[in-house]
């Protein structure tokens, strides 16, 4: 017999079907609830609401598990590349060597962007944040590449075009934001090496590719590639549900990612660690501020809606800090502060009670700094990494037979009907 849930409302019992996922998690299906009861459910921030069924990513927040298409994140970080992981997320299975070679060829073919795009964005104000430029550029792709997505083949070309061009556009947004000459993609470099070269090569100084950094960048982007129904992915699905083109939906995802509670947290972590340094390096200063109810300050890079234990991505990122810094024979004083802050937070009663463990953003900024990535580019780095996730979630949503226009309801709390008062009679 199928499991059901019962709700008693105004003395009447309603029986609701229960959906069970492949890992045993349960959801009460409330699709007919409004129609049958006249009542809606209330869940700000959607902490108890499932918006879709998805076969892409599995997370267990209590146990600290993250898997893409069933494969543990630890295995992908150790053995895969970002391009292979992107294929896995979008197509549902790892590519064979022929498929992988084909993608590499296509990524090279699509790596250039229309020269007019460069001219268009050169007039952006110099101090613009690269996330603002990137979001606008991705939305503009629809105008520069207006081909319609009709067949499986054109759809797949659009995904590869996005993956390749977003990397070029991201590096371009950085060069433009600095007023520097844009560096073109090169056919003889891998995806990650190409990005580093477009960021750091210049007409006056040749950039030497460091394979350790290329590997670190692969891992960084694999760790960010998908995270089920997070804020930016939900934005992509919600905006996509109105049947806008994919570029507009992804551009909305980039805008959603920008904020400090989501993809902008990596940038905010560095500012927090710098502030701790300015305040004499006392990590308890930050913990006490976070605990003070009258202070809006939060420990950036700590806490997560789903993880109630250590974020598995943060564990890998923490190890990467040591590897990257030792490979570069570099030290970063902020790493020392970060370690002390983590140690103090894990012992602090408030942080323990609120499940405040480091999340992926806590150590990622230190890895990016070691690579030479400027702080304003940190959310952009997150965005390039999350792109395969957004694409696969968008694709899954348009193929979903249960998919409908996203349109939440509300509980109205404003005034009941009042009559219009003519201007001369208003106080």
In 240-337, the DSSP E strands lie at none
By beta-carbon proximity to ligand CMC, the closer residue of 214 and 320 is 320
Handedness of CA 261, 262, 264, 270 (dihedral sign): positive
Encoding tokens for residue 135? 């979001």
Encoding tokens for residue 392? 């696969």
By beta-carbon proximity to ligand CMC, the closer residue of 181 and 347 is 347
**Cβ distance 68 to 88 under 8 Å?**
yes
Give SS3 for 381: helix
By beta-carbon proximity to ligand CMC, the closer residue of 246 and 360 is 360
By beta-carbon proximity to ligand CMC, the closer residue of 304 and 395 is 304
Helix, strand, coil abundance in the chain, percent, nearest 5: 55, 5, 40
By beta-carbon proximity to ligand CMC, the closer residue of 129 and 262 is 262
Catalytic residue numbers read 304, 361
Q: For the beta carbon of residue 326, count every other beta carbon within 10 angstroms.
A: 12
Give me the least distance between CB of 335 and ligand CMC, in Å please.
Answer: 17
Max alpha carbon distance in the chain (Å)?
A: 78
Give me the least distance between CB of 321 and ligand CMC, in Å please.
Answer: 17
CA distance linking residue 244 with residue 307, whole number of Å: 32
Residue of closest CB approach to ligand CMC? 303
Encoding tokens for residue 357? 């463990």
Binding site for ligand CMC (CB under 6 A): 45, 227, 230, 261-263, 265, 290, 298-305, 354, 356, 359-361
CA distance linking residue 262 with residue 306, whole number of Å: 13
Give me the least distance between CB of 161 and ligand CMC, in Å please.
Answer: 26
Give me the least distance between CB of 378 and ligand CMC, in Å please.
Answer: 12
Give me the least distance between CB of 397 and ligand CMC, in Å please.
Answer: 19
């Amino acid at each position: 017999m199928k499991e059901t849930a019962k709700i008693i409302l105004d003395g009447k019992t309603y029986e609701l079907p229960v959906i069970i996922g492949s890992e045993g998690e349960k959801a009460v299906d409330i699709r007919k609830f409004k129609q049958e009861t006249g009542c809606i459910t209330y869940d700000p921030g959607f902490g108890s609401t499932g918006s879709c069924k998805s076969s892409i990513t599995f997370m267990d927040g209590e146990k600290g598990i993250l898997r893409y298409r069933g494969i543990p994140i630890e295995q992908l970080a150790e053995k895969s590349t970002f391009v292979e992981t992107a294929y896995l997320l979008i197509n549902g299975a790892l590519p064979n060597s022929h498929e992988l070679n084909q993608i590499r060829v296509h990524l090279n073919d699509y790596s250039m962007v229309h020269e007019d795009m460069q001219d268009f964005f050169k007039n952006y104000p110099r101090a613009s944040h690269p996330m603002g430029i990137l979001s606008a550029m991705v939305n503009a792709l629809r105008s520069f590449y207006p081909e319609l997505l009709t067949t499986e083949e054109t759809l797949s070309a659009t995904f590869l075009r996005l993956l390749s061009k977003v990397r070029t556009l991201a590096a371009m947004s950085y060069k433009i934001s600095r007023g520097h000459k844009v560096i073109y993609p090169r056919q003889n470099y891998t995806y990650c090496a190409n990005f580093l070269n477009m960021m750091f090569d210049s007409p006056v100084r040749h950039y030497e590719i460091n394979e350790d950094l290329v590997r670190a960048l692969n891992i960084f982007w694999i760790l960010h590639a998908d995270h089920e129904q997070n804020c930016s992915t939900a934005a992509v699905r919600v905006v996509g549900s109105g049947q806008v083109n994919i570029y507009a939906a992804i551009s909305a995802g980039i805008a959603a990612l920008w904020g400090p509670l989501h993809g902008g947290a990596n940038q905010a972590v560095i500012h927090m660690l710098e502030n701790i340094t300015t305040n004499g390096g006392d990590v308890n200063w930050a913990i006490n501020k976070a605990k003070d109810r009258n202070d809006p300050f939060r420990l950036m890079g700590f806490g997560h809606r789903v993880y109630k234990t250590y974020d598995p991505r943060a564990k890998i990122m923490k190890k990467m800090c040591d590897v990257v810094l030792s490979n570069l024979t570099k030290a970063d004083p902020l790493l020392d502060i970060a370690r002390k802050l983590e140690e103090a937070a894990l012992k602090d009663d408030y942080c323990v009670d609120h499940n405040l463990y480091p999340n992926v953003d806590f150590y990622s900024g230190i890895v990016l700094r070691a690579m030479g990535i400027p702080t304003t580019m940190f959310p952009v780095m997150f965005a390039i990494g999350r792109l395969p996730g957004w694409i696969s979630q968008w694709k899954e949503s348009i193929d979903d037979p249960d998919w409908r226009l996203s349109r939440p309801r509300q509980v109205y709390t404003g005034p009941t009907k009042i009559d219009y008062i003519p201007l001369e009679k208003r106080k």
